[in-house]
Amino acid sequence: MAVRPRIAVTGSGRGWDSADFWLYTAIRQAGGEPVPLTPRHPRSPETVHGVLFSGGTDVEPGRYGGEAKPGYRYEPDRDALEADWLDRALAQDLPILAICRGLQLVNVTRGGSLHLDARQVHHARDYPGPGIWPAISFRKRITVEPGSRLARITRQASLWVNALNTQAIDRLGTGLRVAAREANGTVQAIEDLDHRFLVGVQFHPEFLLHRGHFRGLFRAFVHAVHERHHPVHHVREPIE
C-alpha cells in the first residue's frame, strides 16, 4: 500500500496504556496509520478513512435502560463522541472494527442492551481472577459462526481468546448478527454484513498478535479501509 490510510482509534484521552501501544502496532503492521480520536482530540470526519472503537470503561447504562454502578467512573463525554462517530461512519460507509467496549457501544447504539456484570449471568469459572495480567493471559474457546465474515477472515471454526470484559451483550442490536459465541452463550463477536466492514469482537485481539488469524483481522480491516479510500476492483479480502 503506497499511501497509508488514516484510522481513528478511540479512547478516553486520559493517558497511554499497553492496549493503545498494541493497537497502534497492529494497525501499522497491517498498513494503516493510526490517529487518536478522543474528547480531547475530536477530529474531523474528513481527515480519517476508518474507525477502530477500542476497549475501556463501561458504556453508561442510561443509554440502554440499565442502572449505574455505585461509585463507578463512567465517561459520558467519550460515549457521546463515539456514538456520534459511529453514526457518521455508518452514514459514510467507513470500515469499523470494534473491540470489547467498542462492541458494546455498537450494540447499544443499535438499540441493544448489556449485562451489567457478566459474572452474575454466567459462572465465575468462565472468567479470570482480578487484575489485568490474569485477564490477558486467560484463554477461553469460542465458536465462530460458519459463513460469517469473521470465519472468512480467520479460516477458523473456533478461536482461543482472552477475557478482559466485565460486561457482555444481552439483547442484540438491530441489524447485527452474531459471528461467534462461547460455550455459555455469551456473544463474542458481531457483524453487519450490510455495511462495507463492521466487525466487533468482545475479546482483545491486540494482545493476541502472535497468532496469525488475529493479525489477519487487523489486515482485513485495514484492507477494507484502503479499498474505501482508494477503490480497486476485484481485490479480495486478505485472509490468513
Rg, the chain, Cα only: 17
Evaluate whether 147 touches 168 at the Cβ level (below 8 Å): no
Sign for the pseudo-dihedral over CA of 119, 123, 127, 130: positive
Helix residue ranges, H only, 116-194? 118-121, 132-137, 149-154
Tell me the residue type at 160. Answer: W
Task: From 98, 106, 103, 133, select the one nearest 118 (Cα to Cα).
Answer: 103
SS3 191: strand
Active-site residue (options: 49, 115, 191, 204)? 204
Angstrom distance (rounded) from CA 196 to CA 183: 29
- The three cell numbers of residue 207 are 494482545
**Going by DSSP bridges, is the β-strand pair 50-53/6-10 parallel, antiparallel, or unpaired?**
parallel
- The three cell numbers of residue 5 are 490510510
Active-site residue (options: 75, 182, 206, 227)? 206
Active-site residue, 204 included:
yes
Active-site residue, 227 included:
no
Active-site residue, 100 included:
yes
Active-site residue (options: 100, 115, 223, 227)? 100
CA of 77: how far to CAs of 2, 61, 96, 100, in Å?
36, 14, 20, 18
Annotated active-site positions, please? 100, 204, 206
